Structure 1
Amino acid sequence: MSQDLPGRMLRLLSLLQTRRTWTGDELAERLDVTLRTIRRDIDRLRELGYPVEGTTGTAGGYRLAAGADLPPLLLDDEEAVAIAIALRTATRGVAGIEETAVRALAKLEQVLPIRLRHQVATFQAAAPLPVPWSTGPTADPSTLALLAAACRDHETVTFTYRRGSGETGRCRVEPHALVAADPLWYLVAYDTEHEEWRLFRVDRLTDPAPTGHRVTPRALPAPDAAAYVAERLAAAPARYTLHATVPADAATVRARTYSLPGRVQPVDETTSTLDLAADNPRHIAEQLLGINLGPDDTIHGTPELAPHLERLGRRLLRAARALTRHSENGDSQGTGTRRE
């Protein structure tokens, strides 16, 4: 038996865990061995309990199937640290994942080498668990996992989808990518029935099912999935809109309003235009709090938005006047927490 056999089999197992299916020739080339050696190593993995399946077809190949027990995962240093950090932070927008993530993190940290455990501990000290500010819609973790696998394997899936109007229908799509746009998750996919690219909110998606049918990936009509999501969200119709000229450079306005790409356009080095749109007027109001608007004649938008902004303005003004009165009366408690 070759002295390099244990290391080669570990590398083979690692390759099988990184992709759905490998041909024998691909594995042989990666490991710089013969196809016959690959077959023998596959047999040894099976003897050790790893469920390696052989696939049929023109190319044939091997894949690591789901087994009765979860097989050990092989991670390099960077992957292990990345997963640990992700488990500390990836709790928003996914239903019921907080406790599960903490349990998984505890198991991972138990087996981390000391050098990597120190890196994770340093991050935890500097960045504790996030405060759950958002209480909006959340996605089911099992649905996300199924869709992620379908994106990876280019496998067509079906599901029931509920539109914003409440109408539901069955869809058959070719998944391309999952994109998190806090706090929502979106599926970018090609709708085979309507023959067009579409954007699906994962929290409105139920009963997903893989079809077993794989397809050749299509070219996305955007630089990447994140850009596609940003473009579609920016172009989506909304109940309330506001357009304004802002006396600040575009980079500052984008940062302070958390606007999608394309919503802020530069006019010159000190002026930019801002386009906001939302079905909830509170979202627009919150974005406006971080900036100073320009002259009144440069502000346009949905008239129905005005009373919502006015009510918010009155509430803030009432709070400011109350603080001023307390200060004048020497009644300040001085117990507020400073926020940077």
Structure 2
Amino acid sequence: MTAERVLRLLALLQRRASWTATELAAELGVTDRSIRRDVERLRALGYPVHATGGVGGGYQLGAGARLPPLLLDDDEAIATAVSLRLASTGTVAGAGEAALRALTKLDQVMPPRLRAEVRAVHGATETLAGPGVQIDAEVLVTLARACRDAVRVRFGYPDAERTVEPVRLVTTGRRWYLMAWDVDRDAWRTFRLDRMRAVAPTTWRFHPREHPDPAAFVQRAVAESPYRHTARIRLRADATEVRERVPPQVGRVEDDRGGWCVLVCAADTLEAIAVHTARLGYEAEILEPPELRAAATAFAARLAALGRR
């Protein structure tokens, strides 16, 4: 019974941030003294259980020097196993192997009923996305820490060495980007992680600046900046529906009134924009550039001529 109670105590401590001894004792049907003994048993097993005294004090499961075993309920175990399976084909170099090792360990101790559910999900799921550009996991961790600690980072980029104040990492699912303040250029910039080399944090801490929304900034940079032409097109469609069909790296969708939305997209040719818009299949109104109307008309004429042959 003692071992079972200790496991139940651990599950409670993992459920929420803090418990008083009285609350834990009531949950487990024991005395406060038994709770104190069980807490010591958890500590002996490597679980960092912190205690605070006084009014409002209690027990809290903290972070230790090593990762102790975790207790997962059924839903958590299934979600973790499915996520590890997806991570095993991800874009972070080395993470795939680590995810597979973790998945193997989890599958080994999983009850047969849960293992069957996880395999049912795997068997019914396919992914259409091709493999993305792999990123060195160490680079990812270095940049994430720099964002968290507000520390400048230096790295090589195809055009020059860069010193930046990193704000946020953004992924499109196939590529990773860093939004940062470029110190030398005195402007916000977006950087692809797969193009960086010799990434190294400095000892220079910075005061975070007011910045644009990272996801929107990166989306605009990825979907519009690299191309010659940018267009704004009204579509008679629900904005949420269009967002589901247009990936963020292809275009962004703005809400409009009266059952319309506005698609902002870019390409090197106006015809490519016309083709993309036509494929969506919605009633459309070209807002800008005016030249897109001529390109769309010419494209429609070629299609009509093809149909008459």
TM interval, short-chain normalised: 0.5 to 0.7
Take 2:41 and 2:210, find their aligned partners in 1: how far apart are those partners? 42
User: Do the aligned residues in 1 keep the contact of 2:47 with 2:68 (CA within 8 Å)?
Assistant: no
Q: CA deviation at 1:93?
A: 3.7
Q: CA deviation at 1:187?
A: 1.4
Take 2:142 and 2:177, find their aligned partners in 1: how far apart are those partners? 14
Moved more, 4-13 or 200-209: 4-13
User: Do the aligned residues in 2 keep the contact of 1:253 with 1:291 (CA within 8 Å)?
Assistant: no
CA RMSD of aligned residues (A): 4.5
In structure 1, the partner of 2:257 is 268
Q: Deviations over 1:195-244 (max 9, x none)?
A: 54432111111111233x37366255245x43443354466352233333
Report how many residues are paired.
258
Amino acid at match of 2:138: S
Q: Deviations over 1:136-176 (max 9, x none)?
A: 644333322332343344443321122xxxx2x22223333
Take 2:155 and 2:185, find their aligned partners in 1: how far apart are those partners? 15
| Aligned partner (choices 39, 42, 66) of residue 4 of structure 1 | 39
Take 2:97 and 2:180, find their aligned partners in 1: how far apart are those partners? 30
Which consecutive unaligned segments of at least 5 residues does structure 2 have?
1-35, 55-62
In structure 2, the partner of 1:182 is 173
User: Do the aligned residues in 1 keep the contact of 2:220 with 2:252 (CA within 8 Å)?
Assistant: no
SS of equivalent to 1:177: strand
In structure 2, the partner of 1:20 is none
SS of equivalent to 1:238: coil
| Aligned partner (choices 202, 205, 213) of residue 193 of structure 2 | 202
Describe the shift of the 1:221–1:108 C-alpha distance in structure 2 as closer, same or farther (beyond 3 A).
same
Describe the shift of the 1:298–1:235 C-alpha distance in structure 2 as closer, same or farther (beyond 3 A).
closer
Matched, 1:144 2:140: yes
Amino acid at match of 1:277: A
Take 1:256 and 1:189, find their aligned partners in 2: how far apart are those partners? 29
Superposition TM-score, scaled by structure 2 size: 0.61
Superposition TM-score, scaled by structure 1 size: 0.57
User: Do the aligned residues in 1 keep the contact of 2:250 with 2:265 (CA within 8 Å)?
Assistant: no
Which consecutive unaligned segments of at least 5 residues does structure 1 have?
14-29, 35-61, 65-70, 323-340
| Aligned partner (choices 157, 166, 172) of residue 161 of structure 1 | 157
Q: Percent identity?
A: 32
Describe the shift of the 1:246–1:187 C-alpha distance in structure 2 as closer, same or farther (beyond 3 A).
same
Describe the shift of the 1:89–1:135 C-alpha distance in structure 2 as closer, same or farther (beyond 3 A).
closer
Describe the shift of the 1:92–1:4 C-alpha distance in structure 2 as closer, same or farther (beyond 3 A).
closer
In structure 1, the partner of 2:108 is 110
